[in-house]
Amino acid sequence: MNKPLHNYGSISSTSQDVLFSGDRSVEFNAACDSVVTNIYTINSSFKVLDTALKNIGTKKDNHGLRNKVHVTQLSTNDIAAVTSKEIRKLKSLMKKGNKQQQLQVEKLEENFKEAIGRYSVVQKGIATKQKAHLLVSVNIENELQNENSSSQQETQRLLARELAFEQEMLMERETRIRQIESDVLNVNEIMRELGTLVHDQAEVIDTIENSIDHAVGNVEEGTEQLLKAAEYQKKRRWKLFWLVLILLIIAAFLIIIIVFSMKK
């Protein structure tokens, strides 16, 4: 299965304008590639299940088809869970203030949610149709048709085997229903995980806002202190001015007294 050209929404595979450096950027790009590949796989699994959905209950329906559906669902469910974790990882690796990376992650998350949505719908359709058209073993039933029931003993044996057959049918039916139900991906759990990440990011944003408020408070307090210092400096200057003026007046009186004394 060939991988398609990667396109992260805001950055195409031919873009040469954005270059990332450092281990963190390498890890970010690797996670992006992993998410793109997983989304492609989920979309491919959707096509497989969609085709199977059309064949279940028809002449093409058989154990081979059911096994293929089962294996496809198990592997895709694991991929979906891994992809959810990868997207959470991407959001933690985003560089602060890097709009390009933010757009990449948002586009990947949107594509993942769309792929999971389609996959979930066809998966539920598969489960419903499989329950309505259960495939069970009919070996005992075929043997029962060949039994010779001419005597009373044979009749009793036949009844016993019919009961055993019915019991086996019920047990197999229950087992298959449980398997069908267990194969259905819990999309709500994945969405909750992504929602939890949004909640975690909101807490981070709240912390940043609190830090900003604290910084603003410090700035306001510093400004107030500067204003008080400026006012104190102004008062000090006025005190110094009056002190100098008084000294000048005193000096002037002394000079006048000295001058008159010398004239006498």
Residue 59: CB atoms within 10 Å: 6
- Kindly indicate the confidence band of residue 11, based on its pLDDT and cuts at 50, 70 and 90: very low
Q: Once rounded to an integer, what is the mean pLDDT over residues 158-180?
A: 67
Q: Domain ranges for the chain, please list them.
A: 1-135, 136-185, 220-264
Q: According to the CATH classification, is domain 1-135 in 1.20.58.70? A: yes
| Token pair for 234 | 């102004």
Cβ atoms of residues 119 and 44 within 8 Å: no
**pLDDT for position 168:** 63
pLDDT greater at residue 247 or residue 33: 33
- Please tell me the predicted confidence (pLDDT) of residue 45: 94
- Give yes or no for residue 183 having a pLDDT over 60: yes
In terms of Cα–Cα distance, which of 144, 126, 132 is closest to 76? Answer: 126
pLDDT band at 172 (very low <50, low <70, confident <90, very high): low
Report the percent of the chain where pLDDT is more than 70: 69
- pTM of the complete model beyond 0.85: no
Q: What is the largest CA-CA distance in the chain?
A: 171
